[in-house]
Amino acid sequence: MNITVLGTGLMGYPIARRLCEAGHTLVVWNRSRDKAERLLAFGATVADTPADAVKDADLVIGMLENGAAVEAVLFGQGVAEALKPGTLVVDMASIKPREARDHAARLQALGVAHVDAPVSGGTVGAEQGTLAIMAGGEAEDFARALPVLQLLGRATHVGPHGAGQLAKLANQLIVSVTIGAVAEALLFAGKGGADMAKVREAIGGGFAESRVLQLHGGRMVERDFTKRAAMSVQLKDMRNVMDTARELGFEAPVSTLFEQLFEQAVDNGLADLDHSALFVELARRNGME
């Protein structure tokens, strides 16, 4: 299968590399060409423009930064017009559900199929092929994409166009709240004189056990906030949660609080740290810097 990957940054690069290693013919494009050229060693071809990248593709995977970037690349840089009728576009960016539905309708008018398939699992999941992939769109289009998606992780069809993005926002809501809960719990224990590392060890395996406690809690204890999933991206996702909640007429008080917390963390200079650095913002509030 001829596959194109648009966007070869933190997530797109390991995704593209896995597809190369699986034997697919791959064309890649990235706004910063040097990030795409890293894939030459794995047999990929680097295109000069996104339109050139997709002209012979059977399947196009997009891993771009946000809805505005997806809109610009698909409809502002000639991609939609360059796609062959029957091509399947799998958009793995995390964007608003209404944006995904709009993109799907406009591509369908050109004879191009669309699946929104955002992911969870971060760069580690992308490297290991263990991503959780939440897909929205027509069942037959999901079935077409599934053999490729299975190389990247566990894919689940959750409903019509936009439903994949709804599932991703639900995921990000849970991640945000759990990061906040773990950070606040460890700081609470530390403020009272307990050893944070030992507290994390003690409650691991109990009812508070979670992947966030293990991975992000470990980063908090070690003060390692090297970016794996950026604070700025987490804020973007929480803003998308709130925008979508307003569209649905859905009251979301927990999401409202965490959107504010991540916004304040970004305002205080933490935008380029890992999202587990919400710990730093909560520590600052408690005089524990």
Across the chain, mean pLDDT equals 97
Distance CA 21, CA 41 (A): 11
191 is catalytic: no
- List every span in the chain annotated with CATH 3.40.50.720: 2-160
Residue 228 has a pLDDT of 87
- List every span in the chain annotated with CATH 1.10.1040.10: 166-285
Distance CA 266, CA 263 (A): 5
Residue 171 has a pLDDT of 96
Residue 123 has a pLDDT of 87
Task: Please give the radius of gyration of the chain, using alpha carbons only, rounded to the nearest integer.
Answer: 20
pLDDT more than 70, % of the chain? 100
Q: Kindly provide the residue ranges of all beta strands, DSSP E only, lying in the chain, ordered along the sequence.
A: 2-6, 25-29, 45-46, 59-62, 88-91, 113-116, 119-120, 131-136, 153-159
Task: Kindly state the average pLDDT of the residues 98-119.
Answer: 98
> pLDDT, tens digit, for every residue of 223-260?
999 998 889 999 999 999 999 999 999 999 999 999 99
Question: Phi, psi at residue 161, to the nearest 5°?
Answer: -50, 135
Q: What is the CATH number of domain 166-285?
A: 1.10.1040.10
pTM, full prediction: 0.92
**Region for 116 from its dihedrals, namely left if φ exceeds 0, alpha if ψ lies in -120 to 50, beta otherwise:** beta
**Does the structure show a pLDDT above 80 at 289?**
no
- Fold assignment, 2-160: Rossmann fold (3.40.50)
Query: Could you say which of 168, 191, 227, 236 is catalytic?
Result: 168
